[in-house]
Structure formats: C-alpha cells, structure tokens
Amino acid sequence: MVASSPRPAAPTAAAPTADTTRAAAAAPPAAATRAADTARAADTARAAATRADASHADTTRADVIIVGAGISGIGAAHHLQRRCPERSYLILEARDSLGGTWDLFRYPGVRSDSDMHTLGFSFKPWTDAKAIADGPSILAYLKETAAEAGIDRHIRYRHRVERAEWDSTTATWTLTVRVGDGEARTYTCNVLLMASGYYSYRAGHTPEFPGRERFGGRIVHPQFWPEDLDHTGKRVIVIGSGATAMTLVPAMAADAAHVVMLQRSPTWVVARPDTDPVANALRRVLPERLAYRLVRRKNIWLQQFFYKRTRTQPAKVRERLLAEVRKHLPPDFDVERHFTPSYDPWDQRLCLLPNGDLFAALQEGKASVVTDEIETFTETGIRCRSGEHLEADIIVTATGLELCTPGEMTFVVDGEEVDFSTRWTYKGLAYSDIPNVVSFFGYINASWTLRVDITADFVCRMLEHADAVGADTVTPRLRPTDADMTPRPLIDGFSPGYMKRAMPRLPKQGDREPWINPQLYERDRALIVESPVDDGVLTFTRSPAGAWSGPPVAAPATGTAPAAADPEPVTAPDDGVPA
C-alpha cells in the first residue's frame, strides 16, 4: 500500500500544448468541454503507459489486484489509475468476459431496476435516452468504459481466485488462481480489492420442490438461461415475486401462450417511465458532463427522499403505492391478495415496473398472478396447496440468489484461516484484523454504483496516506473501547430470504462508528469520503521486509525498535479531506 514496485520505463503520451490550453480557455463552453475531455484523455493515456508492464500477459505481480471485472471492478480500476497512476494493477476475472452481472444474466428482458444516471459511473455519463436500460446496453456501456480507459488490457479472463494468503513479514497477498479448467498459478500483490459482488456465480437459490423430477417440461433458473430455450407459444410458470420474476413475466408474455407468476407472497411494486424527460431535456441544452452531473444529483436526492419517507411514514407510503397499483389494473383485480405485502415498503427491495409493463401484460390477458404455495410439481405443471393445478411447458425458478463471502475464496492471514462470521465490518468495506483488503458492496436501497464510487475514493485516499507515511500495511483494529459492542447483522433492517440465509456467514456490524454499514448514501459520504482515513482505527504500519513500501520511516521517539516479526507503527497527522 504504497509506493509501487519497480517496473520498466514505458513510452509516454503527448501532453497538451500551451496552444491547446489557450484555445480551450478561449473556446465557447461546448468547445471548452471537448478540449478538456481531450486533455483528460491525454492524461489517461500517459498514466496507462506508465502501467504498461501490468498489462503484459505473463505478469503475475502487481501492486494492486482487483478480483472481478464487473461494474465494481471496472469502477475501482478507473479510480485507481486516475488517482494513483504510479501503481500497477491487474484484474482477475473468473469468467471469459467482463461485465459481471450484466454478462452473466441472459434471461429475456434482463434490465436494470435503477436509473442509469445513478447506476452509471460518476466519471462516465450515460447518454442513452432510456434511463432504465436493458442488460445488453449496460454491458456495452461497461465494455466501452473499460476500452476507453485501457482497463481491458489489465484483465485476465478465466482466472478464478481460490485462495488468498497474507504474509505480514512481507506485506504480500499470495493468490492461488485456477486458470481455465487447468493449472493453478500464483499471483502476488500488496493490496487486494474484492469486486466480485455479493452472490455466488456458481449456483442460484433453488428450494427443494416436491415432485420436481416428475415434470415433463423444462425447468430453468434465470441465472443460467439456456440459449436454446424457445418459449414461443408455450405455457410458462415463473416461480417468484422479486425483480427477476417481475422482469421475466412481461418479457416472456410477448411471445408465450400464457405466463403465470406464481408467488408465495406479494412484493411492493412501482410503475415508472423508462425515460427521464429532465435528463433528455438537459442534455440538449447543456454540456454532456454537466447535464449528467445535475441529473445524477437529482436522482440521488429523490432516491434518498423516498427511502427516508418509507422509514418515517410507512403507512402513507403503503397507501400511495397501492393507489398507484389500482390505477393500472381493472377495478375487479384483487390488489389486496396479489400486490399488498405484509411488510412495509423497503423492508425488502421495491420492484420497478418500467412503463408498467407487468400491469399491461395482466390487463391484456397475456399473464396472470397466482398467490399460493406449491404442493408438488406434476407431470404437466404445478399443483398448489389450494388445489388449483397450473399447466406448464416451461417452469422458471426465479427464486433468488445465494449470497457468499468475498469471492467464494479461502482467506488466510499469517497462517490462520479467516472465518468472516467472527469479523467486524469497517465502514461496510473492510474487515477487522484483515490487512490490505477492501470489498466493494453496493446499496440495497439505491444504485449499486453510488457506493462503488465512494469506496474507490476511500481506497485511493488510503493509498495516498500510506505513501505519505511510508506504510505498506493498513489494518482495521478494534479499540479497547470497542470490546463491548453489540453485534448486528451486516445488512440490518432488510428482510428478504436471500439476505437472512447468508447473514450468519458474513461479518457483523457494531453499534458505533466506524464498525457500521449504514447503507445510506448521505451517511456513507460523511463516514467514508469526508472522514480522515487515519482515524485511530486503521493502523498504518511498515512490514519488516518493506518489500512494497516507500522510504523507511523514522524510528519511534523512544528509540525502541519493534520486534522483527511485528510491523512498525506509523503515525502522521490526518491528511484532511479533498473537496
């Protein structure tokens, strides 16, 4: 964490000339913006050139290794190479393509359930007219982002990290990486950024359904959608009531004979247009980046306002949501049974229906909702507890995800295997007594990428401070006053089944800062972005070998050197907070 390791000199990109700078200053706003973009591109190219060695295919050592090439990994890499261009980095991706969720999920209609002005990166404007985007468009945006910044050259595909071992004497993470289906390869780094998401890519959650083996049609899980599945003219049952089910039903209903959404209990839903008129209007009259920034701020404020209202006035929000549902459905539709959950809004995730597409499919008779429990699968469908039998040619089990510990990897710190359930989360991004690891975990009540951006900002400030004090090891440590903390689940006050199933395996949060995971953007900005990194909990130290760090740090004033096996403490004034 640290001054970067030595590397060969690399060619540099041409710098903007004085004439270019003067022209930009004299140009009208739009031209000035383009000139500024050109200057930024040149800066990016120069920084990329200094990291050229890390993009060599045979490189197995880097200052920073990022696990995962999805939205978190690409975002982390962009911030890292912009703020800390002297550091080499690699991205290890288990799949054969970048994109994470947006490459993995291929089911019909796959889309975002957050607007792209907040799900998009802070540094890369979303310019499409649709604010609620389909999966292929989001994947194209991620690929474009990676290519423009040269991030794609740092990705190693089909590299699955199986084990990470930390050695305090050298401040080094040693990774055991499975390449394809064959050899195990060793990679080393000083800092490990976990950007592999929060759910397992290996298996989705599928309950044990009685009689499943009897069904004569096809059973599929949305996480592993078969390319050869043709639902045209078929009878389809989608089991589930979450965002995936809400997406699948109207998408499949366009071509299927009929689609039934079979749910055990309802979910809160809201219908909204898939375009943002304000965003599209501002983009016509303002420079692209300014328009994007304004719309992003607007949408963040609206997200936070609505979420706070669900916490402070849940009864009013319930009535408002139900009134909106009734406006979209026939008067005789049983809204109470099919669209009125037993819990308050945002106790579980609120499902977005772009342009009310699910309601339209219900009104046109192309789809229907059955709220019941499954008694058994049969040869031709599903028999419910009520006795109703639903006929099907295809059954889709949209029954959720399996959450996992970071990367589904084994972590070892100085010879001791890590049990994450015994660790405390530090600001929702790191873990007690685990050095030089930061995890990217987004929001459950807002766009994922908002937290990716502020976590990446934290990483860069942490690295800069470590350099300033000559440290190569940064570890969150409990203070003596933290010994009496009351443990709480990592995600508190959010009750969907996939979260409840995983909480016992995940780190816990405490009852005081910084051992908390607020999941509130405004509070996270204060906690993560605006607070100094040298907060008395993060310890900045230098390993005995000093293999990664910068100039040696002066010995303690007492003249007593630490024992050889212990890292040397480093202290420095708080570095302040960038604007």
Which pLDDT value is given to residue 499?
76
Which pLDDT value is given to residue 10?
33
Residue 194 and residue 235 share a domain: no
Domain boundary among 397, 420, 453: 397
Residue 470 and residue 360 share a domain: no
Which pLDDT value is given to residue 445?
85
Asked whether residue 30 is domain-assigned, the answer is no
Answer yes or no: is pLDDT of 402 > 90.
Answer: no
| Helix spans in 438-483 (H) | 448-469
CATH number for the domain harbouring residue 291: 3.50.50.60
Answer yes or no: is pLDDT of 425 > 50.
Answer: yes
Answer yes or no: is pLDDT of 422 > 50.
Answer: yes
In this prediction, residue 56 has a pLDDT band, given cuts at 50, 70 and 90, of low
Question: At 322, is the secondary structure helix, strand, or coil?
Answer: helix
Name every residue whose Cβ is closer than 8 Å to that of residue 101 and which is 6 or more positions away in sequence.
Answer: 70, 71, 197
Answer yes or no: is pLDDT of 487 > 50.
Answer: yes
Domain count, the chain: 2
Asked whether residue 73 is domain-assigned, the answer is yes
In this prediction, residue 495 has a pLDDT band, given cuts at 50, 70 and 90, of low
Residue 193 and residue 257 share a domain: no
As a whole number, mean pLDDT of residues 208-228 equals: 96
**Percent helix / strand / coil, the chain, rounded to 5:** 35, 20, 45
Answer yes or no: is pLDDT of 34 > 60.
Answer: no
Residue that has been written with the tokens 């900002």 in this structure: 457
Residue 419 and residue 393 share a domain: no
Strands 235-239 and 416-417: unpaired
Residue 338 and residue 225 share a domain: yes
Asked whether residue 266 is domain-assigned, the answer is yes
Strands 351-354 and 269-272: parallel
Which pLDDT value is given to residue 553?
39
> Which residue spans within 355-451 are E strands per DSSP?
367-371, 374-377, 381-384, 389-391, 394-397, 410-413, 416-417, 425-426, 430-431, 437-439
Residue 332 and residue 286 share a domain: yes
Lowest mean pLDDT among 200-204, 353-357, 538-542: 200-204
Domain boundary among 397, 429, 444: 397
As a whole number, mean pLDDT of residues 148-176 equals: 97
- Whole-model pTM: value is 0.85
Q: Residues of the chain with pLDDT > 70: what percent?
A: 84
Residue 401 region by backbone torsions, left for phi larger than 0, else alpha for psi between -120 and 50, else beta: beta
Q: Could you report the per-residue pLDDT of 225-278, keeping only the tens digit for each? A: 999 999 999 999 999 999 999 999 999 999 999 999 999 999 999 999 999 999
Residue 336 and residue 239 share a domain: yes
Asked whether residue 47 is domain-assigned, the answer is no
In this prediction, residue 16 has a pLDDT band, given cuts at 50, 70 and 90, of very low
Task: Evaluate whether 405 touches 157 at the Cβ level (below 8 Å).
Answer: no
The token pair at 249 is 């039903």
Asked whether residue 8 is domain-assigned, the answer is no
As a whole number, mean pLDDT of residues 186-201 equals: 94
In this prediction, residue 496 has a pLDDT band, given cuts at 50, 70 and 90, of confident
DSSP H or E segment with residue 497: helix 497-502
The token pair at 122 is 């802070």
Asked whether residue 356 is domain-assigned, the answer is yes
As a whole number, mean pLDDT of residues 534-550 equals: 87
Which pLDDT value is given to residue 430?
97
Question: Which is nearest to 530 in space by CA: 499, 574, 471?
Answer: 574
Q: Which domain covers residue 469, as residue numbers?
A: 54-200+404-570
Answer yes or no: is pLDDT of 557 > 70.
Answer: no
Task: Evaluate whether 122 touches 297 at the Cβ level (below 8 Å).
Answer: no
Residue 302 and residue 259 share a domain: yes
Q: Could you report the per-residue pLDDT of 363-400, keeping only the tens digit for each? A: 999 999 999 999 999 999 999 999 999 999 999 999 98
Task: Evaluate whether 90 touches 154 at the Cβ level (below 8 Å).
Answer: yes
Domain boundary among 397, 415, 437: 397
Residue 462 and residue 415 share a domain: yes
Question: Which is nearest to 446 in space by CA: 352, 539, 571, 373?
Answer: 352
Q: Hey, what amino acid is at 248? A: L
Asked whether residue 178 is domain-assigned, the answer is yes
Distance CA 505, CA 426 (A): 16
As a whole number, mean pLDDT of residues 410-416 equals: 97
Residue 474 and residue 327 share a domain: no
Which pLDDT value is given to residue 241?
95
Residue 254 and residue 179 share a domain: no
Lowest mean pLDDT among 203-217, 294-308, 496-510, 555-569: 555-569
Which pLDDT value is given to residue 57?
60
Residue 185 and residue 246 share a domain: no
Q: Could you report the per-residue pLDDT of 92-131, keeping only the tens digit for each? A: 999 999 999 999 999 999 999 999 999 999 999 999 999 9
Average pLDDT over all residues of the chain: 86
Asked whether residue 38 is domain-assigned, the answer is no
Which pLDDT value is given to residue 175?
98
Task: Evaluate whether 211 touches 196 at the Cβ level (below 8 Å).
Answer: no
